[in-house]
Amino acid sequence: MSNISKLEFNALDISGKNYLPWTLDAQIHLTADNLGETINEGNTTSLQDKAKAMIFLRHHLHEDLKREYLTVKDPLELWGNIKERFDHQKLVLLPKARYEWLQLRLQDYKSVSEYNSALFRITSELKLCGETITDEHMLEKTFSTFHASNMLLAQQYRERQFTKYSELISCLLVAEQNNNLLLKNHQARPVGASPLPEANAANAQSRHGRGKGRGPSRGRGRGRRNTWQSVPHNSKPGNNESSQKHAMRPSRGRGNGRQNDTCRRCGMSNHWSRTCRTPKHLVEAYQGMMKKQEKHVETNLIENTPNLASPARPSDTHLDASDFMEP
């Protein structure tokens, strides 16, 4: 059955593997709620505070542990029973944490952030087990585990005489980011090579016939009229013939411009040569291709097959393809 209220932190596992962080979290939360004295020897707290502390502790226990300590009603007694049962975890975790501390090396990690996370995890376990780890220990561990190719760099960091590990790790993180940036810039292109030019093609649409007004021959406006059937405003009622002739004429507005013409400069459509914005190197390539096509002109001979029923005229001259070729 799931807990009714939300847990402030992870409940104590039946195996006791999270006993050390659980005790730390429990003490912090009890102190924040003014219930820290309920788990100390010789406390004189009220029954109400003891009940609140008991509810809090039982709420953060495994279900099997709750059933095991079902008859315990004093928070101090419950705290002592849990400590007596799982306090040996310090003796189990301490050798492992010491071994990891001895094997910890900066050169074994791909990035400084990964090394920093591993170092703080190990030092936290050592401190929970009662060991003392200072900034001096962490600085010496970092300096002594640099890669052999960075011996000069490690010596330079030593000469700066850092007193806090946080200052050293900040410098290492900044240096790592700068090195990554320099490496990316170096691999962007070969040394001495210039960047490749960008080729951008822009389609310039003609303004003819694109008006947004509502008058006649204004393009795609809402008030667009049919220019083939519009009647001029100055037509008179009696002049029907002239008005009909004028109505049958196409309008000379700006809506007759062709927008799908091929540009003579670059060969692309939807714009004219005077509004062409194609890059120069593409235009030169197109012009060169067109000149090559003009040099290789094909000459084709088309002749009608004579009718066999009627004899050919004596004046007919038979021509071959070689007659059209230059010597």
Residue 104 three-state SS: coil
Residue 149 three-state SS: helix
Per-residue pLDDT, 274: 80
Model-level pTM?
Answer: 0.48
Per-residue pLDDT, 140: 93
Per-residue pLDDT, 120: 93
- Whether 62 and 13 have beta carbons less than 8 Å apart is answered as yes
Strand-pair partners of 260: none
Task: Encode 29-97 in three state secondary structure.
Answer: HHHHCCCHHHHCCCCCCCHHHHHHHHHHHHHCECHHHHHHCCCCCCHHHHHHHHHHHHCCHHHHHHHHH
Cα–Cα distances in angstroms (integers) from residue 205 to residues 192, 213, 254, 264, 286, in the given order: 40, 18, 13, 16, 21
- Whether 253 and 217 have beta carbons less than 8 Å apart is answered as yes
Per-residue pLDDT, 180: 86
Give the whole-angstrom CA distance, residue 247 versus residue 226: 10
The number of CA neighbours under 13 Å toward the Cβ of 317 is 3
In degrees and rounded to multiples of 5, residue 2 shows phi and psi of: -75, 155
Residue 12 three-state SS: strand
The mean pLDDT values, 10 residues at a time, for the chain of 327 residues are 69 87 90 90 88 91 90 90 86 89 93 93 89 92 91 90 92 89 83 72 52 47 45 48 47 46 80 82 85 68 55 56 62
> Can you give the residue ranges of every domain in the chain?
19-87, 113-185
Strand-pair partners of 12: 61
Residue 41 is which amino acid? E
Give start and end residues of each alpha helix (H) in 188-319.
240-248, 280-295
Per-residue pLDDT, 251: 45
- Whether 60 and 9 have beta carbons less than 8 Å apart is answered as yes
